Amino acid sequence: MILVIGGAFQGKTEFAKSRFCADEAEIFNAFHLKIRETMKNGGDISAVTESAKKFKIVISDEVGSGIIPLDKFDRDWRETVGRELCKIAACADEVWRVSCGMGQKIK
């Protein structure tokens, strides 16, 4: 499995598709938003992470940088996304950071 992270609107999906010859069915896109939705609905976060690991590629925005949100839910969400991405990165074959459509291999 390959993890692709980066800022919003930085070309992560197009990078993943072209670099790894992947189609939409092989990509778990917007991991960060699925975590948010699951937290709002009181769902099982670990189930989302385990489900994502089954895909060829997991794509997520980096949400841990910048100003710390005032809202407690947003702070908790940001922390949860970071912790779950650490779990995915630990078992990923490769980890890439994308900025301006260009990827940099981290692992």
What are 27's strand-pairing partners? 57
Rounded to two decimals, what is the model's pTM?
Answer: 0.94
Residue pair 26/16 in contact (Cβ under 8 Å)? The answer is: no
Task: Record the tokens describing residue 5, joined without a space.
Answer: 């992270």
- Tens place of pLDDT per residue across the chain (107 aa): 999 999 999 999 999 999 999 999 999 999 999 999 999 999 999 999 999 999 999 999 999 888 899 999 999 999 999 999 999 999 999 999 999 999 999 99
Number of domains in the chain: 1
Return the ∠ at Cα 68 (arms to 13 and 72), rounded to 5°: 100
CATH number at residue 90: 3.40.50.300
Burial string for 46-77 (b: 16+ CB within 10 Å, else e) reads: eebbeebeebbbbbbbbbeeeeeeeeeeeeeb
- Give residue 26's domain range: 2-105
